[in-house]
Amino acid sequence: MTPKVDKILSVFLWLVAVHSFLVGIGLIVLPTSVFEFLGYQSTFDRFFSTQGGVFHIIMAVGYAMAGYDTKRFECLIIFSIIVKLIATVFLIIYFMLISSQLLIILSGISDFMMGLVILFLYKKLKLEAFFKIGAL
């Protein structure tokens, strides 16, 4: 018996939520020396990395809500796809025009792949009329 597509999407969204949460925690608590080791320049204030960390944690909540109840939170699935698309575009442009660090393009590729998987599973559910009002 193969797993149902909605269960696969749910698990995947939970994995994306965990990833986003861990990135957020890392951005908040990792010392400056780790960022410097990864190729980023030192800044005088940790505000922006902390703000980015809080943003990732907030997004993790949205991904988790979408994963918790895919039918009820269809709009958050769509939002997740949009977020991953925007993140991909931003990271690729930033890599090409501002800073060609390996971690930036790897982040862009991973965001693209996550968004693609969510989109693929979402479209499969739409074809099955999973989100149709009154469908069980």
Identify the pLDDT of residue 11. 98
Give per-residue pLDDT as tens, 86-107: 999 999 999 999 999 999 999 9
Q: What is the mean pLDDT of residues 129-133?
A: 81
Phi, psi dihedrals of residue 51, rounded to the nearest 5°: -60, -45
- Domain regions of the chain by residue span: 5-127
Residue 47, pLDDT > 80, answer yes
2: exposed, middle or buried (C-beta count within 10 Å: 0-12, 13-18, 19+)?
exposed
Contacts of 92 (CB under 8 A, 6+ apart): 105, 108
**Percent of the chain, pLDDT > 90?**
75
Q: What is the mean pLDDT of residues 109-125?
A: 98
Taking Cα atoms as reference points, which of 26, 14, 13, 94 lies closest to residue 56?
Answer: 26
Identify the pLDDT of residue 40. 78
pTM higher than the cut 0.85: yes
Identify the pLDDT of residue 134. 57
Residue 79, pLDDT > 80, answer yes
Phi, psi dihedrals of residue 118, rounded to the nearest 5°: -60, -45
Identify the pLDDT of residue 36. 81
